[in-house]
Every structure is written in C-alpha cells, then in structure tokens.
Amino acid sequence: MIPPKPPARPEKVSLWRYMKLFRADILSAQPAKLYRAWMAEFKTPFFRSYLANDLELVKRVLKDRPDDFPKSDRIGAGLRPLLGNSVFLTNGEVWKRQRRIIDPAFEGGRLRDAYGGMYAAGQAAVVRMQSNLGVQDIELETSHAAADVIFRTLFSIPIEDETATAVFEKFRDHQRTQPILNLAAFIPGPKWMPRFFSRSTKDTAADIRRLITDLTQRRMDAIKAGTAPDDLATKIMTTQDPETGATFSTDEIVDQVAIFFLAGHETSASALAWTLYLLAMYPDWQDKLAEEGAALTSDFSSVSKLRQTRDVFREGLRLYPPVPMMVRETACPETMRNRAAPKGSQIVLSPWHLHRHERLWDNPDGFDPTRWGTENGKKCQRDAYIPFSSGPRVCTGAGFAMVEGVLLLAMLTRQFRFEVTDKVPVPVAHLTVRAKDGIWLNVTKR
C-alpha cells in the first residue's frame, strides 16, 4: 500500500492554465518530473522561477547565504490580511529583531514549562473523542486539539474560553477561503498595489485579529498589574530586544500571535491528522505506538521514552509536510546549476518534492518509520528533510511541535483504534497540506 499522493499535472500547460491550477492546489499543479529533477525553471512574463531540489542549492539558500535569498512576497501577499508584519513574512533587520525577541520564549526550560498545557489539551482531546466514536473527519478533532494546545500554552486558557473558541471558529472559516497564492502577486508593482482579496478572506482575517487584540490587551493589563501567568504570551510581551532594549508594540504582538496560531495550530493539526491516517493504514505500527504510549505520563521526561512514536511522527512530516513549499527571492544575480538566475528570480524550495525525491530517498513514497535508523535515512534527515525549514530561519517552534505531536499521538493511540474507511483522502494545499474532502477514519475504543 502506498499512502495517498495527489496526481501530477500534464507536462505542458499554458501560463494561465498553470496559474489557475496553482491557485486551486499547488501540489497537483506540478509535473511528475519534479520528483526526480534537481532543478526546474519556469518562466512567466514578469519573473523567472526555479524549483531547487539540488541539495547544494537548498543549503546555499537556507544555510550558507540566507540574507541573499529573502522571503518572496508572492506567497506572503496572500497571508498579510491575517499575519500582518509577523516574523513569518519579514526579512532583513526587521526579521532579525523579531527573532531576537521571540526566540528566548522557546529556549531552555520553556518547553518543559509548556508541557503541562500540552498534556492537559491531550487529556481533553481524549475525553472529546470518547463521546464521539465512530466514523468521523479526524481533521476536525486534530484542529480542535492543536488549537487547545496553543491557547493553553500561549495564554493559559483552554479552548472552551469564549474568545479562544471564537478565534478557533473564525480561523476554520478563514483557512478555507484563503488560497495560498494571490494572483495579483504575480504582477510586479509597489507593495501598496491592491491584491484583491475576497471579502470573506478580509472579513475573517479582521475578525481573528480583533479577537487576538482583545486577548493581547487583557494580557498586557495583567502584566502591568503583576497578575499575568508565566506562559509564552507573557514571555514574548516582556522580552526586550538585547540590542535596543525595546519590546514589541501591541500591533507587533498581534502579528506574532497570529503566526503562532497559524504555525502552532494549523501545521500541527495537519501533521497529526495525516499521521493518524498513516497509522490507520498500517495497524501494526498503531499497535506498537499504543503499547509504547503506556509510558507517557504528566512528567515531561517521559516523552523521551517514546522513540517509535517520534519516528512515526517524523515519517508523517516527511510524507505530508504541513508547509509544502517555501519561496525565496534572489537579491542579486545567481548561477543555478549553470543557469543564470537574474535578480528578483523566485527560488522555490519544496519540502513536498524534496521529501519524496526518487534519487535521494529509499522507498520515497512508502511509509517506513524504520528508515530513520538506516544510513540513507540518516543522510537524508541531515540534508533533505526540512519540514520546519532549516538554517537561521528554521521554525522557532520546531522543538515544541515535535513534543506536541508525539504526545498527542501517544495519548490518542493508547486509548483508541483508528481504521480506514472507503474514503481515501486526497492531499491538497490550502494554508497547509490538508485533505480535499477531509480525512475520514473509524474511531473505536481500544
């Protein structure tokens, strides 16, 4: 059995056909050759685009010279109504300043401090699932659980909190209305040029930001009063830039909280749902995780015992990386595999294709958690595995996500059995890699 994979598009299509396919789903808009090619060039009337699977090019862009390859606004433009000027979209000195303030919240013992909120969210997910057994779209539950983790660890409130519930519901509406590509971003022009977002995209983004602003203001008031809990939100709001001594303004905090919710909720929900589907496809692995999960407790150190669970979750991230493509832009002319890439060219790094590359991985489309112990798996993990990006712009919350995913997998598989149904999910890219019509599993008590 091979896990679901979207169909590839025909080799030759017109630019406008490609843009239409891309807008609908960036995964099925790509040709099959990208699973073997080291690089592919795509020309438009406005710019050139290069998809790079060559490991030396990936290393150049992400690790060796990241300042020469800033993030492209052709993807960011579609996210700005929600994310504003968050760390996910900024470049240069603005981005460096933001990271200097944000990174300390995820360093050292902060992950251990957040574990209690993760564990409580996992317990709540088990209770909800016990009352909702049978055939269900598991994406709905993983979204609920991941949002609960974020609210408990960021603001010390459960998902049942009125504002938290409202943010969760609005975000669910927003992620289905927002295509990953804003077509106006294909046309060169100043940043103030209209991007023609749909009314639903603008309205849901505005509603989410209004709710986050309310949460942020309440927390700032609590910090001034000396009554704020010592959680991630408090840490981020009170951390000073070590170079200037300044903290984030209210608007800046709203931007950062919005990306924490997107990165910490949407991506985690995607990864967890797809991994549960893989376990339903391979029940022998599910049984191994259920047995191993008995070692998990409310003690943070118990997570380190879940080695097979970690390898399964890592394999889920390989096959279904939540962020399927990252787009950078050349700040100066470059030579890419003996081709000239002018300044302003788009460099696409695709975890989706890199993780399944036929010339890099053994059994690239297969589910095999034992691969991480092989020489091929170890080498690919170092060089060709980027679910959280790599280099200076690696996701700040990568360690957080790995603990959260392993914990929730262990808590759910030791309590429930997940079985496939006759509905085979088709991967598509919305804000993250989701299923076109949901991921339907039959859930029973173990």
At 198-217, the pLDDT tens digits run: 677 788 888 989 999 999 99
The pLDDT of residue 63 is above 90: yes
Residue range 360-373: average pLDDT? 98
pLDDT at 446: 93
List C-alpha distances in Å: 394 to 86, 386, 389.
Answer: 15, 9, 5
Residue range 364-369: average pLDDT? 98
CB 353 within 8 A of CB 51: yes
- Between 411 and 250, where is the model more confident? 411
CB 445 within 8 A of CB 415: yes
Determine the Cα–Cα distance for residues 439 and 436; give it in Å rounded to an integer: 8
The pLDDT of residue 133 is above 90: yes
Find, among 322, 305, 320, the residue nearest to 406 by Cα.
305
The pLDDT of residue 337 is above 90: yes
Question: How many helices (H) does the chain have, and how many strands (E)?
Answer: 17, 11
pLDDT at 129: 96
pLDDT at 179: 53
pLDDT at 197: 62
Ramachandran class of 404: left when φ > 0, alpha when ψ lies in -120 to 50, beta otherwise: alpha
- Between 252 and 76, where is the model more confident? 252
pLDDT at 193: 46
Confidence of residue 177 (pLDDT cuts 50, 70, 90): low
User: Per-residue pLDDT tens for 390-422?
Assistant: 999 999 999 999 999 999 999 999 999 999 999
Confidence of residue 333 (pLDDT cuts 50, 70, 90): very high
pLDDT at 182: 47
Confidence of residue 22 (pLDDT cuts 50, 70, 90): confident
Alpha-carbon torsion angle 135, 138, 139, 140, nearest 10: 70
Give the least confident one: 113-117, 162-166, 336-340, 422-426.
162-166
User: Per-residue pLDDT tens for 339-360?
Assistant: 999 999 999 999 999 999 999 9
* The CATH number of the domain covering residues in 15-445: 1.10.630.10
The pLDDT of residue 194 is above 50: no
pLDDT at 183: 47
Q: Is the dihedral of CA 243, 244, 247, 252 positive or negative?
A: negative
pLDDT at 178: 57
Residue range 228-236: average pLDDT? 93
**pTM listed for this prediction:** 0.93
The pLDDT of residue 186 is above 70: no
Residue range 30-36: average pLDDT? 93
pLDDT at 35: 97
Residue range 372-400: average pLDDT? 96
Which residues make Cβ contacts (< 8 Å) with residue 17, sequence separation at least 6? none
Mean pLDDT over each residue of the chain, to the nearest integer: 90
Which residues make Cβ contacts (< 8 Å) with residue 271, sequence separation at least 6? 313, 316, 317, 320, 322, 387, 401, 405
The pLDDT of residue 377 is above 50: yes
